[in-house]
Amino acid sequence: MYKLNRLKSRKNLLNSWKQQIIVITSLFVLSIASGCTQTQEQTQTQEKTESNSIQSSSVSNSEKTQILTTFLPMYLFTKAVAGDVANVEMLVPLGTDVHDYQATPDNVKAIATARILVKNGLGMEEFLKDTVKNAENTKLIEIDASKGIKVIDEISPVEEVKDHDHDHDHKHEHAEGNPHVWLDPVLAKQQVINIRDGLINADPANKEVYQTNAAAYIQELDKLNNEFQQTLSKTPNCTFITFHDAFPYIAQRYNLKQVAVVQIPEDQLSPADIQKAISAVKKYNVKALFSEPGIDNKLLSSLSQDLKLTMYPLKSLENGETNPQYYFQAMRENLQNLEKGCK
Ligand SMILES: [Zn+2]
């Protein structure tokens, strides 16, 4: 479903390129300024990522249990639970968009030789189905981190006209719901519990390690949940506008309302998306916009200037750093930015 919508929005982008060029030209100076900052940030993230992967490969040991995870949040939670007793690897490389990821032959090879595969599920890892089949690993144990989680069926109120295609897409959306459950600390705790229990089942020899590590991480998740509750209870029913439909679970948990203008992060927003954003800003009387860090939102930064709205980053954690503590760091940044944007 996400893929279909992405293709559709790319088509829209092409159709309206002329309009866009006019906007881009008029905002050229501003675009240069924001472009420079992003490049610098991206380089820094990449440097950190490289040093992290060096650290993890230096403790590699072929006798350890091999655990594959799909993308960053699954890696962070699994690494937190497994600690040093297993080798944890990630299939989707950092800097790649998991929403339209295409599996590589190396991914198939990795799955063919792994004992355990941890996934978010809920349709997040569309690339996995054929990849697991092609790997023909009959001994592979799959851990579905979202097992037992009650999903939000409806995609958030994206501001758009319903046409036939859109209704068709909706049928896909209802099948598995919104997959971004890891962004709610309470559901993240459920995912950590699912991963812990799955690892204990698959590798009972390390049961105590998994239990101890999971308990420590869960304690931190509880603390994080308390911080979100205390801070966001001061701004009930705050409406926030995003450009990635990744935050309906945070919204539901802490009594906020997310309005997503586009479902998945786009490198460039179309003029139609900008129009949707403008009408959402007027309709909900918001004071801030939230954007995905690392996405080149030149039109969005110009829009926030035009509308005199502050733009804050809101991290989906689909990309970032590989230290399990990164979850808490990024989520606390999200909390601070939501607090500022909701004032
Ligand atoms: Zn996403």
pTM over 0.95: no
Residues near ion ligand 1 (Cβ under 5 Å): 246
**248 C-alpha vs ligand 1 centroid, how far in Å?**
11
Tell me the C-alpha distance between 244 and 291, whole Å: 8
Identify the CATH number of the domain in which residue 124 sits: 3.40.50.1980
Question: Which pLDDT belongs to residue 61?
Answer: 61
| Nearest alpha-carbon partner for 154 in 174, 168, 171 | 174
φ, ψ (nearest 5 deg) of residue 88: -105, 125
237 Cα: distance to centroid of ligand 1 (angstroms)? 23
**Ligand 1 mean position, distance from CA 179 (Å):** 8
Strand partners, 143: 118
Per-residue confidence (pLDDT) for residue 296, from 0 to 100: 65
Residue 63: burial class (beta carbons within 10 Å; 0-12, 13-18, 19+): exposed
What order of strands is seen across the sheet that includes strand 239-242? 257-260, 239-242, 288-291, 310-313
- What residues make up the domain containing 165? 2-342
Note the pLDDT of residue 153. 80
Total domain count, the chain: 1
Amino acid 301: pLDDT: 82
**Cα–Cα distance for residue pair 335/231, rounded to 1 Å:** 8
- Cα of 330 from ligand 1 centre, angstroms: 15
Question: In the prediction, which pLDDT does 63 show?
Answer: 80
pLDDT of residue 327: 98
Per-residue pLDDT 10s for the chain (343 aa) are 444 444 444 434 334 333 443 333 343 333 333 333 333 444 444 444 444 443 344 444 668 999 999 999 999 999 999 999 999 999 999 999 999 999 999 999 999 999 999 999 999 999 999 999 999 999 999 999 999 999 998 666 555 433 334 433 433 344 579 999 999 999 999 999 999 999 999 999 999 999 999 999 999 999 999 999 999 999 999 999 999 999 999 999 999 999 998 888 877 788 888 888 899 998 988 878 999 887 766 778 888 888 899 999 999 999 999 999 999 999 999 999 999 999 8
